[in-house]
Amino acid sequence: MQQITQPTLILDERKCKTNIAHMARKAEDAGVEFRPHFKTHQSLEIGQWFKEHGIAKITVSSVGMAQYFATEWDDILIAFPVNVRELTAINELAGRVKLSLLVESVEVLELLHEKLTHPVSFYIKIDTGAHRTGVAPTDFASIDQILAAAKQPGKLKFVGFLSHAGHTYHTNAITDILKIRNDENLAMLQLKAHYIGSHPGIIASIGDTPSCSLVDHFLGIDEIRPGNFVFYDLMQLSFGSCSPGQIAVALACPVVALHKDRNEMVIYGGGVHLSKDMLRINQNSVYGQLVEKEGDGWVEPIPGMIVKRLSQEHGIVSLPKTQNDKFDIGDLVYVLPVHSCMTADIYSQYITTDGKNIERFRHS
């Protein structure tokens, strides 16, 4: 860590492996298939840590990510509406691995039908309330239309229904998250019950980290796909999905200025290093939270030391009077990110607290 000169993403391998083990055991205990979403870590090496728990199927959110993981994984779901401009790459992938896609319109299904050169499984995306993508769970007309089109002989195989209760991210209370989860679960159960007779063997797949972290039962659900839990972050902490000790990534940032007169410290670590994702806590904007260092790792958040403003390269940290004498220019501080998926996406590698380099996928 002494050699770090610039904002650097640090990974606590032990915390990360504990998060993975915990979710894998939860899925096993609940008797559901675990198809983890790899969009958060985007790393082949971290993927290997899942293999140690017998995980064989994964979820990703882009064709590029699927190509990256296809070197070591042979059952991949791209949980993003089919981007028909990438059909060449999709066909190439489907020739190498068991590929699953997400469909929500008959238009895309018919295009796939026409253009696919290899067998592909598809889920129908169900909108259980997030209103991002998908068909309403009661919109049998649209679902029937897709299923009718899928019955033509061809490369497409219908495997089930998939939802992502992303609206859990817009709540502030655990009870709200649990209510959303229950509604989602019920909607997916009813949907599966409606179609299982005509389509034996279909499954119901759900996904978000808040609800997968907060509940232990997945009644009638066959597959879960959380992703963020691998690292967690301040947003998940604010939901109650994790404890501070479970957050497995931090951004190491040099201190470049102290302004004790206005209770502020400036770090080299701005919007291009942390991302501009923000939490509102008690009317305050929060872009990160400083943690107490211990060895090359970190322990508890330091009360009151919040990254409260960001410009391109600067982070402005609130510096309570009690911390006034604890920091010098040139120190390296650790910042817990608001949204680890967004922060990690900026980097091409992690440095572990043991000093190891771990590569990750880069999309652009």
Binding site for a copy of itself (CB under 8 A): 4-7, 39, 61-64, 80-86, 89, 104-105, 107-108, 111, 131-133, 166, 254, 256-259, 262, 264, 266, 268, 271-273, 275-278, 309, 311-314, 316, 329-330, 332, 341-342, 345-348, 363-364
The CB-of-247 to a copy of itself minimum distance in angstroms stands at 18
Nearer to a copy of itself, 5 or 324 (CB): 5
Nearer to a copy of itself, 44 or 258 (CB): 258
Residue 245: Cβ within 10 Å count: 13
Nearer to a copy of itself, 103 or 191 (CB): 103
- Terminal-residue alpha carbon distance, the chain: 28
The CB-of-66 to a copy of itself minimum distance in angstroms stands at 12
The CB-of-127 to a copy of itself minimum distance in angstroms stands at 9
**Cα(43)–Cα(358) distance, integer angstroms:** 7
Nearer to a copy of itself, 19 or 105 (CB): 105
Residue among 279, 253, 251 nearest 350 (CA): 251
- For CA atoms 125, 129, 130, 131, the dihedral sign is positive
**Cα(89)–Cα(318) distance, integer angstroms:** 47
Phi, psi of 222 (to 5 degrees): -100, -25
Nearer to a copy of itself, 24 or 351 (CB): 351
Nearer to a copy of itself, 189 or 331 (CB): 331
**Cα(271)–Cα(278) distance, integer angstroms:** 10
**Cα(332)–Cα(24) distance, integer angstroms:** 34
The CB-of-89 to a copy of itself minimum distance in angstroms stands at 7
The CB-of-203 to a copy of itself minimum distance in angstroms stands at 22
249 CB-contact burial (10 Å; exposed 0-12 / middle 13-18 / buried 19+): buried
Task: Give the helix ranges, DSSP H, for the chain.
Answer: 13-30, 44-51, 63-69, 87-94, 106-115, 140-150, 174-195, 209-214, 234-239, 271-274, 340-344
The CB-of-342 to a copy of itself minimum distance in angstroms stands at 6
Nearer to a copy of itself, 224 or 266 (CB): 266
The CB-of-264 to a copy of itself minimum distance in angstroms stands at 8
Residue with tokens 């895309």: 108
